[in-house]
Structure 1
Amino acid sequence: MKIILYASIALIAVSFFILVVYLARTLTTLQEALRRLTAAIDHMDKEVQSIGAETTQLLKKTNALADGVQKKVEGLNSLVHAVSDVSSTVQSFNRSLQQISASVTKQVETHQEKVVKIMQWGNAFVEIWEKWKERRQKR
């Protein structure tokens, strides 16, 4: 019976040794995995910091671009106001021309008979002038 007891103790010792060896290998593998995970996390941290810096630069450039666009829009607004003023001036000028034209038309209609007489006298004067020139050339 002692042999069975010694054999059992030896079997338990061997089993415990095998368990310790597998446990040591598992812990070593786990340690390697944790080391790789730590390295990956460090790499990701550096990448995130790099992306953060690039994002900050991009944000600054975007703000500068937005400021430039804003200034150009303000300049364009002043141009639109100037064009609007020119349009108002042209409309006023057109109204003035229409009023002058209406006034001239009214004056012509009022003095139409006088204008017709003046034109008749003018035609008569031109005819007399031409006849006088013909007679002068004949002499």
Structure 2
Amino acid sequence: MIVILYVAALIAAIALLVIAIYLSKTLKSASQTMNEVAKTVEKMTNELQGISGEAQQLLDKTNSLLDDVNGKVAKVDPVFDAIGDVGTSLLGLSQSVRELATLATNKVSANERKVAQAISVSNSILALKDKFKASKAAKTKSKRS
């Protein structure tokens, strides 16, 4: 019975040794994995610092470019305002000319009869004048003959 106890203790010791060996290999593998993870994180940190520096430079350049564009747009705004004012003025002028033309057309239409009568009277006077001249010329010719 004592032998069985020693054999059982020996088997337990061997089992503990096997467990310890496998546990040691597992812990060594886990340690290597953790070391690689730490190296990867360190590399990523360095790369992110480089990228963040470049991103900051790009952001600074973008801000300065935006300030430049805003300054130039502010300088050009009065030109567009002036163009808008010219357009408004031209619209007002066009409307005034249209109203003036309409008024003149209406006045001409209203005075059309009077103008026609005046032309008729002036034509009659001119015809009478021509007859008078012809009559005078005939009298002068007959006196000479």
Q: TM-score, normalised on structure 1? A: 0.61
1:24 counterpart = 2:35: yes
Q: How does 1:85-100 map to 2 (within 5 A)?
A: 85-89=96-100, 92=103
Structure 1 residue 29: Cα displacement? 1.1
Q: Supply the distance in 2 between the matched residues of 1:37 and 1:92 (Cα, whole angstroms).
A: 78
Q: CA deviation at 1:28?
A: 0.9
Instruction: Report the CA distance between 1:32 and its aligned residue.
Output: 0.9
**One of 63, 67, 78 as aligned partner of 1:56:** 67
**Corresponding position: 1:37 with 2:44:** no
Q: CA RMSD in A?
A: 3.8
> CA 1:113 to 1:11, structure 2 compared with 1: closer, same or farther past 3 Å?
closer
Q: Aligned pair in 2 of structure 1 residues 85, 8: CA closer, same or farther (>3 Å)?
A: closer
Unaligned runs of 5+ in 1: none
* Residues 1:77 and 2:88 aligned together: yes
Tell me which moved more, 73-82 or 28-37. 73-82
Q: Which moved more, 1:26-35 or 1:92-101?
A: 92-101
Distance 1:14 1:125, change over 3 A: same
Distance apart, 1:55 and its partner CA: 2.7
> Percent sequence identity over matched residues?
8
Number of equivalences: 133
Query: Which runs of 5 or more structure 2 residues have no equivalent in the other structure?
Result: 1-9
Q: Which amino acid aligns with 2:31?
A: V
Cα distance in 2 for residues equivalent to 1:75 and 1:60: 24
Question: Which residue pairs with 2:134 in the alignment?
Answer: 123
Q: Distance in 1 between matches of 2:134 and 2:13?
A: 162
Between the aligned partners of 1:11 and 1:93, the Cα distance in structure 2 is 113
The 3 A distance-change label for structure 1 pair 127 and 20 is same
**Bigger relative contact order (CA 8 A; separation at least 6):** 1
TM-score, length of structure 2 as denominator length: 0.60
